[in-house]
C-alpha cells in the first residue's frame, strides 16, 4: 500500500487564547480529491497555511510525502502548488508574464518553461487572454490563472483555499472539471470550502468546526452514517411551523428545504405515526410527508450540532478499513 501523501498528527494552532485548530489528525492518500469543509472561521485556512509551511504549528505535527511541513518546509514547498483564498498574483503583469514569473520563482528549467506555459494556457482556457493584464480578468479567469500558476512546476499535490468562493456557476464547474482532470492524472487535491454541495464532488471529505475534526470519510459513507431516512413534511404556513416544531420534545432540529421542513429526530417513524393520529397544531395544516435521503448539508448539521441520536456509531480506529468513518468528538 502506498504511503499517504499528507499526515496530520494532533496538529494544533493557537493565537493567544484562541484555539484555531485543535489536535487534528488525518491522512490523505495519493490521488484523493479531499474536501475540507466548514463554516467561515472553522479553522480551514489556518490548517492549510500550516501544511504549506506559512504558519508555525503550536502543537502536533504534519508531513507531506514524509517531510515535516515546518522543519523541512524548503523541501516540502517543491512538492505542492497553492492557490490562496484571495487573488495573489500580479495584476499589472499579463497572463503569460505571471506564468513566466512563477515558473522562474519555482526554478522551472527555461528549456521546459515555454512548453509548460503553452500547456497551461490551454488547460485553463486562457490562450486568448495571454497578453491581458491579470487585473483586467474576470473573477473566474483570475482563479483559473492562479490555478495555472500553482501548477507551473508540475507539483504532485495541490492546495486550494476556497477557490470557487464568489464565482458564478459556470466558472465553478470549469474549475471542478479541471480538478477532476488533475486527479485523474495522479495529482492529490486538497480543497477547502464552505459550500456543502461541493462536498459531493470530492472522493473524501473532512468536516471541521471550531478547530476540531468532526468526521472524515467518503460522501457516500458519511451520508450512510444516518440511522434512518429523514422525514420531510409540507406545512402551511411554513415559517410559524418551523418555529413551533423546533420546541417539540423528540425533535433535535428542523431545517427549511425548498419550502418543506426537514426533521432531525431519533425516531422519526414514531413521530410521524403520532402526528398522523393526532396532529397537535390546529393553527397549522399538515399537507403531506415523505422520506428523503440525507445530503451533505444534513450530514454537516448532524455532526456539528451533535445529533448523535440520529447517527450510527463511528470510530477513529482502523481508518483504512472500507466504509470506516473517522470521527473526533470534543471532550
- Domain boundaries defined on the chain: 6-222, 230-293
Cβ–Cβ under 8 Å, residues 26 and 216 = yes
Peptide bond into 202 cis (omega under 30): no
- List of the chain residues with pLDDT < 50: 1, 314-323, 329-331
Cβ–Cβ under 8 Å, residues 215 and 325 = yes
Q: How far is CA 244 from CA 216, 252, 278, 286, 301, in A?
A: 34, 13, 16, 13, 19
Instruction: Answer left, alpha or beta for residue 184, where phi above 0 means left and psi between -120 and 50 means alpha.
Output: alpha
Say how many C-beta atoms besides its own lie within 10 A of residue 269's C-beta: 12
CA dist., res. 196 & res. 255, Å (int): 15
Cβ–Cβ under 8 Å, residues 26 and 326 = yes
> Grid coordinates in use for 31?
490521488
For the stretch 76-100, pLDDT in tens is: 999 999 998 777 789 999 999 999 9
Burial of 74 (0-12, 13-18, 19+ CB in 10 A): exposed
> Grid coordinates in use for 136?
483586467
Cβ–Cβ under 8 Å, residues 14 and 73 = no
CA dist., res. 19 & res. 92, Å (int): 38
Q: How far is CA 50 from CA 34, 112, 163, 182, 315, in A?
A: 17, 31, 18, 23, 26
The pairing of beta strand 260-264 with beta strand 67-68: unpaired
Q: How far is CA 327 from CA 124, 150, 181, 295, in A?
A: 37, 32, 30, 18
Calculated CA dihedral for residues 131, 136, 137, 142, nearest 10 degrees:
100
pTM exceeds 0.75: yes
What contacts 166, CB < 8 A, 6 or more positions away?
Answer: 139
Evaluate whether the domain defined by 230-293 bears CATH number 3.30.70.
yes
- Domain 6-222 and domain 230-293 have a common topology: no
What does CATH list as the number for 6-222? 3.40.50.300
Amino acid at each position: 500500500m502506498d504511503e499517504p501523501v499528507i499526515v496530520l498528527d494532533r496538529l494544533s494552532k493557537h493565537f493567544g487564547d484562541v484555539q484555531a485548530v485543535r489536535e487534528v489528525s488525518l491522512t490523505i492518500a495519493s490521488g484523493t480529491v479531499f474536501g475540507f469543509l466548514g463554516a467561515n472561521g472553522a479553522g480551514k485556512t489556518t490548517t492549510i497555511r500550516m501544511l504549506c509551511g506559512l504558519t508555525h504549528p503550536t502543537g502536533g505535527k504534519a508531513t507531506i510525502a514524509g517531510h515535516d511541513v515546518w522543519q523541512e518546509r524548503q523541501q516540502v514547498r517543491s512538492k505542492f502548488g497553492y492557490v490562496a483564498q484571495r487573488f495573489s498574483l500580479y495584476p499589472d503583469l499579463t497572463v503569460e508574464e505571471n506564468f513566466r514569473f512563477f515558473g522562474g520563482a519555482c526554478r522551472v528549467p527555461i528549456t521546459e518553461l515555454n512548453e509548460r506555459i503553452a500547456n497551461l494556457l490551454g488547460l485553463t482556457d486562457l490562450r486568448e487572454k495571454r497578453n491581458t493584464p491579470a487585473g483586467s480578468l474576470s473573477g473566474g479567469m483570475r482563479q483559473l490563472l492562479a490555478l495555472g500558476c500553482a501548477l507551473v512546476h508540475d507539483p504532485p499535490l495541490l492546495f486550494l483555499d476556497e477557490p470557487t468562493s464568489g464565482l458564478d456557476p459556470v466558472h465553478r464547474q470549469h474549475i471542478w472539471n479541471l480538478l477532476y482532470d488533475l486527479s485523474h492524472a495522479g495529482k492529490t487535491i486538497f480543497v477547502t470550502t464552505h459550500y456543502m454541495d461541493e462536498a459531493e464532488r470530492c472522493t473524501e471529505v473532512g468536516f471541521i468546526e471550531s478547530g476540531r475534526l468532526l468526521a472524515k470519510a467518503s460522501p457516500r459513507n458519511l451520508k450512510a452514517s444516518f440511522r434512518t431516512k429523514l422525514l420531510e413534511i409540507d406545512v402551511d404556513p411554513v415559517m410559524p411551523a418551523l418555529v413551533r416544531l423546533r420546541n417539540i420534545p423528540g425533535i433535535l432540529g428542523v431545517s427549511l428545504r425548498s419550502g418543506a421542513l426537514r426533521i432531525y429526530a431519533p425516531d422519526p417513524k414514531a413521530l410521524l405515526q403520532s402526528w398522523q393520529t393526532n396532529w397537535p397544531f390546529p393553527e397549522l395544516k399538515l399537507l403531506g410527508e415523505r422520506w428523503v435521503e440525507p445530503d451533505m448539508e444534513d450530514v454537516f448539521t448532524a455532526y456539528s450540532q451533535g445529533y448523535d441520536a440520529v447517527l450510527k456509531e463511528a470510530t477513529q480506529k482502523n481508518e483504512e478499513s472500507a466504509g470506516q468513518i473517522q470521527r473526533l468528538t470534543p471532550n
